[in-house]
A = this chain, B = another copy of it.
Amino acid sequence: MTNIKDLAKMARVSVATVSRVLNHHPYVSEEKRRSVLEAIRTSNYQQNINAVHLSKGKTQMIGVVVPFSDHPYFALLLKGIAKQALDQHYKLVLFQTDYRESMELEALQMLKQKQIDSLVICSRTCDWSTIEEYVPFGRIVVCEDSKGKQVSSTSVDQYKIFRSALEYLYQNGHKKIGYCIGRKSGTNAQNRERAYRDFHEKYQLSYHPEYIMDQCLYFEDGEKVMNQLHDMNQPPTALLVTSDQVAAGIVTCCQKLNISIPGQLAIIGFDNEPIAKMMDITTIEIPLVEIGKNLFLQAINDEITNDEVSFRLIERGSVSEKRD
């Protein structure tokens, strides 16, 4: 394999000049540039990227940690990140953690070792304090509110979403409202529960802990939810479902069970995935791909910013009959 030294010899210039040509530095005479390019062509030269990384201390790679890449929520974030990464000539190193802390630590470790320039954490298990330990080693960006912390973030206000969705259901006559989430721990879950409690307090509604269902991630979990509702003597009349996939599963299950929607059960999904449109599910639109793009941009930007993106309720037929 020819290296930069060989090239220099072939083109009868110094390695510095070869490096300048390779990096499009302006201060190279046309004559020498041509000579170097000729040497590159004839030798079939291939830059050793690892030497570049060592030398520059940068790798043009950013890590992305997601618990599962097969869930539409994360898949869409990933799509946005990947799209932006492509434009900026960055590569992505994927960490599928399954919410295991050890995997998150590995990702942080890579940041420390300079194998990645930045790390985007889409969802985490580890403590804030753990993350903060790694702040000196590279940019970290998260997908939840991180004001006051030394990391950038792009997030939607889950508290606000929940409050407004609950309010909407209340306006539609619902007083027994449940909700389905992916997992009980995590910032999002906390904010949602806070919103849920505050809402109940405001309207003096009775609080049913069993109305909160977790481990709802995929379409097929809709069946699980319906089984749980079936076991309640006072099932909720409306559900907030933090994934359109699950919402669609619930709707499908209701059709099988002859439960009318929205008559007997109202549903609000999340994310406005295509499946929600197809199945006429009222949903909260969250611009996941946009969030992904922004996460990436923050990952390569030196400034620390905390961006909040807006959401939007899309009224379809799963809460009240559509009014066209």
Contact = CB atoms under 8 A, between A and B. Distances in A.
Interface of A: 46-51, 53-54, 57, 59, 61, 64, 68-70, 72, 75-76, 78-79, 82, 86, 91-94, 96, 103, 110, 112-115, 218-220, 222-223, 248-249, 252-253, 255, 274-275, 277-279
Given A78-B69, A86-B103, A278-B249, A50 B59 contact: yes
Contacts of A91: 93, 110, 115
A92 B255 CA distance: 41
Nearest to A219: B275
A49 B94 contact: no
B76 A70 contact: yes
Contacts of A51: 54
Most B CB contacts (10 A, CB to CB) among A49, A53, A78 go to A49
Contacts of A50: 50, 53-54, 57, 59, 114-115
Given A54-B54, A94-B92, A113 B76 contact: no
Contacts of A47: 113
A82 B110 contact: no
Nearest to A66: B69
Contacts of A252: 252, 278-279
Nearest to A48: B114
Contact of A92 (B48, B75, B93): B93
A75 B69 contact: yes
Q: Is the interface of A mostly helix, strand, loop or mixed?
A: helix
A216 B223 CA distance: 25
A288 to B, nearest CB: 10
B93 A49 contact: no
A46 B56 CA distance: 17
A274 B53 CA distance: 43
B70 A113 contact: no
A48 B78 contact: no
A286 to B, nearest CB: 15
Nearest to A251: B252
Nearest to A280: B256
Given A93-B61, A94-B94, A220 B46 contact: no
Most B CB contacts (10 A, CB to CB) among A51, A91, A249 go to A91
Contacts of A115: 49-50, 91
A64 B59 CA distance: 18
A114 B277 CA distance: 45
Contacts of A54: 48, 50-51, 53-54
Contacts of A274: 218-220
A48 B53 CA distance: 10
Most B CB contacts (10 A, CB to CB) among A113, A222, A277 go to A113
B219 A278 contact: yes
A252 B92 CA distance: 36
Nearest to A91: B93
Contacts of A61: 93
A274 B113 CA distance: 39
Nearest to A58: B50
28 contacts: A49-B110, A49-B114, A50-B57, A50-B59, A50-B115, A53-B53, A64-B94, A68-B79, A69-B69, A69-B79, A70-B72, A70-B75, A70-B76, A70-B78, A75-B75, A78-B94, A78-B96, A82-B96, A92-B93, A93-B93, A94-B94, A218-B274, A219-B248, A220-B274, A220-B275, A223-B278, A252-B252, A252-B278
